[in-house]
Structure 1
Amino acid sequence: MATDPPDRTSAARATDRPGDASPFALGLLLRRAHWHAAAVMGEALRPLGIELRHFAVLIVLVNRGPTVQRDLAAATGSDKAGIMRVVDDLERKGLAVRKAVPGDRRVREVEITPEGLELFDAAHAAAEPLVDRLAGELGPGEVERLSDLLTRLAHPADGEA
């Protein structure tokens, strides 16, 4: 029994091009926008001696305070081995320290150091001149609108992420 080939004209296929009507289109656009943003922000961080993955951990530590490594991994989308490498780097640079958690010898909490806070602030200053490059194609009011839309996608009102 022969089957007909799929109708190539009616099926929306993911192409990763502007105008893509596939069910993957939004995700693909977000991925491409992330790559662009990561490259621009990475350029701001490079002279400070850190990468975006380091800065992501510093953000969590500034927002939450001392945090166990397991929670850092979850908050940054990293795995156990990856977060250990990032925390090792931050410790080596004097930007964070591991501390024992009272009552559990196996768990370590990570805390940002005063040097880490200084670098965190310096990163913001270094990124400021690059903001225009990041959103250079957007017109008046569009940065705020995009930020609002992305916030709603990243932080749904129902609490599910």
Structure 2
Amino acid sequence: MAADVSPGTTPSRVTDRPGDTSPFALGLLLRRAHWRAAAVMEEALRPLGIELRHFAVLIVLVDRGPTVQRDLAAATGSDKAAIMRIVDDLERRGLAVRKNVPGDRRARAVEITPQGVEIFDAAHVTAEPLAERLVADLSPGEPEKLTDLLTRIAYPAGGEA
């Protein structure tokens, strides 16, 4: 389907460069910002021996407590096979354990261990200077404003998260 373009004009084309005015510009900027932020967070987690995918599961476990694997997959955007591999990694490291769910012989809940909580807390300490570097080019107050704007995009008032 062709875009509505007035005769003699050219549609805005996606360039993925600053100043792009295409309807895809915001999404592309968010993607690029995500890549940068993920790289910074991976750098913070590397000395602790875990990856961002592991930390994403630890975040859910700290927030929700013991969580069945299918809910972990949904909360982290992983598929069933990937979440099983991640939980296997966390179990090998002693950061999480699987436990039977009373009343459901098929379901297994994943629970963070005290060692997992220690790694979770250490990650925050390690990430602090790197996170500051991520927003170093912003003016005072802008990191908070950016967080507010992104929160409103990620969690719209209508609940379409």
Q: TM-score range by the shorter chain?
A: over 0.9
Are residues 8 and 73 of structure 1, via their aligned partners in 2, closer, same or farther at CA, if it must alter by over 3 Å?
farther
- Once the two structures are TM-superposed, the CA of residue 15 in structure 1 deviates from its matched residue by 1.4
Instruction: Trace 1:125-140 onto structure 2 (pairs within 5 A).
Output: 125-140=125-140
Give me the identity figure in percent.
78
Q: Secondary structure at the match of 1:159?
A: coil
Runs ≥4 residues deviating over 3 A? 6-9
TM-score, scaled to structure 2:
0.93
- Once the two structures are TM-superposed, the CA of residue 133 in structure 1 deviates from its matched residue by 1.2
Q: What is the match of residue 38 of structure 2? A: 38
Q: Secondary structure at the match of 2:57?
A: helix
- Once the two structures are TM-superposed, the CA of residue 9 in structure 1 deviates from its matched residue by 4.8
Could you tell me how far apart the structure 2 residues matched to 1:54 and 1:112 are? 11
| 1:57 is the counterpart of 2:85 | no
Q: Secondary structure at the match of 1:111?
A: strand
Q: What is the match of residue 81 of structure 1? A: 81
CA-based RMSD of the aligned residues comes to 1.4
Are residues 9 and 51 of structure 1, via their aligned partners in 2, closer, same or farther at CA, if it must alter by over 3 Å?
farther
Q: Specify the code of the residue in structure 2 equivalent to 1:93.
A: R
Q: What is the match of residue 146 of structure 2? A: 146
Could you tell me how far apart the structure 2 residues matched to 1:103 and 1:12 are? 57
- Once the two structures are TM-superposed, the CA of residue 73 in structure 1 deviates from its matched residue by 0.6
- Give the unaligned 5+ runs of structure 1: 1-5
TM-score, scaled to structure 1:
0.93
Could you tell me how far apart the structure 2 residues matched to 1:66 and 1:13 are? 47
Could you tell me how far apart the structure 1 residues matched to 2:58 and 2:40 are? 18
- Give the unaligned 5+ runs of structure 2: none
